[in-house]
Structure 1
Amino acid sequence: MASVLNISAYLFTPIADPASLRPVLRERAVARGLRGTILLAEEGINLFLAGAAEEVRGFVDELRTDERFASLTTKESWSTDQPFGKMLVKHKREIIRMDRPAIRPAAGRAPAVDPVTLRRWLDTGRDDDGREVVLLDTRNAFEVDHGTFSGALDWRIQKFTEFPDAAAAHRDELVGKTVVSFCTGGIRCEKAALVLREDGIDARQLEGGILGYFEHVGGDGFDGECFVFDGRRTVDAGLQPTG
């Protein structure tokens, strides 16, 4: 029986003291017997945790008592085994590296598309205004190879820092269309959509990423499995480990 709760979550929110917050969060997580990774930066927090359900949820509830993290939302899945070997809390320059300091989601997000709406758009290939919808996978090529949305654009990037240049190179192909950027859990496509909009492209982000889509819609329109960065390796549309 699957008894290990896995969560992923991120939030772009100003953190003035990420270095001093690091040992505090690590102590709390270790005390609850959790394993995984928490990334802290001045732009926000990104975390992947696993453990007993009451301890994982208790950690998140405590984290939300800090007003900076009050709106943090999590995506949950289950496994029979602990997918992480240790508990790491790291202070980084960015919680998802793009090397574009001007791209600051905390100052204003790109419009988002919820999974149910996207599923409806996929049926016709058009948005609610009748414009052509283009899906854009913002993940690295090796992740895409495990599975992606049917017909999605894949620019074969090897690391996320390559995305802005790839977007500029493909700009003319996207202008005049409704572009929905997506990634595993939402963090990369949130920055990607802002880059695209700076280039004059009508870009939206898939709320909750692929994992959120699986949770609310299932696998309709998605071919394959979703790569995740832990011991499970991949999960299916039911959020069950397949790796």
Structure 2
Amino acid sequence: MAKYNTLLYYCYSAIADAEQFAADHLKFCKSLGLVGRIIVADEGLNGTVSGNSESCKTYMDTLHADERFAAIDFKVDEVDGPSFIKMHVRYKSEIVHSGLRDPKIINPQEKTGKHLEPKDFLAMKDRDDVVVLDVRSNYEHSLGKFKNAITLDIENFRDFPAKINELAQYKDKKILTYCTGGIKCEKASALLLHEGFTDVYQLHGGIIKYGKEAGGQDFEGKCYVFDNRLSVDVNSVNPVVISTCFNCGKHTDKMINCANPECNEHFTQCEECGWQMDGCCSDACKQHPRKREYDGTGYYVKVPQPVNTAKKAKIKLAE
């Protein structure tokens, strides 16, 4: 058994006093020596945690013993070391930010797309009456996506609802949605059904589970993940590299964050340009006085930024 594991999971299940649950859950995770990032909301949990195999097993067993979380499908990766540096558990309004907060309209616990196991997704995805839809953000699908999948020009998942009209031409097709671990598809497929799409499916367990159970066949490139690995291999059947270096255009599957913390852009950069640009996307970022030291990984512990009060006020008004 591997010394360390990284667990990816989510669960839509009502949590009473979720804010207090988040505080208690943080203490529990720290007691196990886990690191990671967990979002807690009234509607459920969304997490990636990492630690030694024994602690991860205890964590999974404990959550499964709670009837609210008994159905969690943990995606388990064996890793060389912990995939995070710190442990964060935060209470938020949603476990994945979509802006779709009215449970009378969108409630994954009541109505969502039909779940397809990886082998069934593989069998269906190339049929003439099927459209495969990537519901992830630009930086994610630019690194890797299913062959012939429809992608949307979105910076964040909260932009997805505004793109529904662009999909109207596919209303007579079977829509197969997919994302990293399945969580975004729960709300994306529910919204598609609400908007009049009648035959909607979602890849159960997302790209990560598909890689483990279907060999990742026809997933081109790498899968972006939200920890210090930044990307993982998925396809062991017919892998290809589709992403290109932001600076020189050469094919590369290395994803980094810009070393300038005020930019922090997600982008692909080849090894050579990484060292030439010192982990930055531009010369301006390379000369920035707050530029972080580049160690070849392109992953950095988040540096607190000054509060943008104008942006914060705008978001509050939108809510």
Q: TM-score, normalised by structure 1?
A: 0.92
Matches within 5 A, 1:131-142: 132-142=129-139
1:174-227 deviation line (CA, Å, top 9, x unaligned): 111000111000000111001111111121111111001001001211100000
CA distance in 2, matches of 1:223, 1:2: 27
Deviations 1:108-166 (A, max 9, x none): 332111110111123xx22xxxx611110000001101100000001111111111110
Cα displacement string for residues 10-36 of structure 1 (whole angstroms, at most 9, x for unaligned residues):
010011211111122111111111000
What amino acid does structure 2 have at the position aligned with 1:141? N
CA distance in 1 between counterparts of 2:235 and 2:216 reads 8
Name the structure 2 match of 1:198.
194
Structure 1: runs of 5+ lacking an equivalent: none
Q: How does 1:77-116 map to 2 (within 5 A)?
A: 77-102=77-102, 103-116=106-119
Partner of 2:31: 31
Structure 2: distance between partners of 1:2 and 1:150: 32
Amino acid in the other structure paired with 2:64 = R
Task: Tell me if 1:178 matches 2:181.
Answer: no
Distance 1:134 1:108 in 2: 20
**Cα gap change, 1:238 to 1:27, in 2 (>3 Å):** farther
Instruction: Please give the TM-score of this superposition, normalised by the length of structure 2.
Output: 0.70
1:58-99: per-residue Cα shift (whole Å, max 9, x none)? 012112222111111200112112220100110000000111
Instruction: Please tell me the residue identity of whatever aligns with 1:157.
Output: I
Spell out the pairing of 1:1-243 with structure 2 (5 A cutoff): 3-102=3-102, 103-122=106-125, 125-126=126-127, 132-167=129-164, 169-201=165-197, 202-237=199-234
**Equivalents in 2 of 1:242, 1:46: separation in Å?**
26
Alpha-carbon distance change, 121 to 55 in structure 1, aligned in 2, over 3 angstroms: same
Contact 2:137 2:157 in 1 (8 A): yes
Higher strand share: 1
Match of 2:262 in 1: none
* SS of the residue 1:97 aligns to: coil
- 1:31 is matched by which residue type in structure 2? S
| Partners of 2:135 and 2:178 within 8 A in 1 | yes
Q: CA deviation at 1:242?
A: 7.0
User: Counterpart amino acid of 1:37?
Assistant: R
- Assess if the C-alpha contact under 8 Å between 1:232 and 1:242 holds in 2: no
Tell me, in whole angstroms, the C-alpha distance in 1 between the residues paired with 2:26 and 2:235: 30
- Structure 2 alignment gaps of length 5 or more: 237-252, 256-319
Given that residues 14 and 106 in structure 1 are in contact (C-alpha distance below 8 angstroms), is that contact kept between their aligned partners in structure 2? no
> Matches of 1:114 and 1:173 in 2, distance apart?
26
CA distance in 1, matches of 2:207, 2:50: 19
Q: Residue 48 of structure 2: SS of its match in structure 1?
A: strand
Tell which has more relative contact order, 1 or 2 (C-alpha 8 A, sep 6+).
1
CA distance, structure 1, for counterparts of residue 136 and residue 25 of structure 2: 28
Identical pairs, percent: 33
**Across the two proteins, how many residue pairs are aligned to each other?**
235
| C-alpha RMSD of the superposition | 1.8
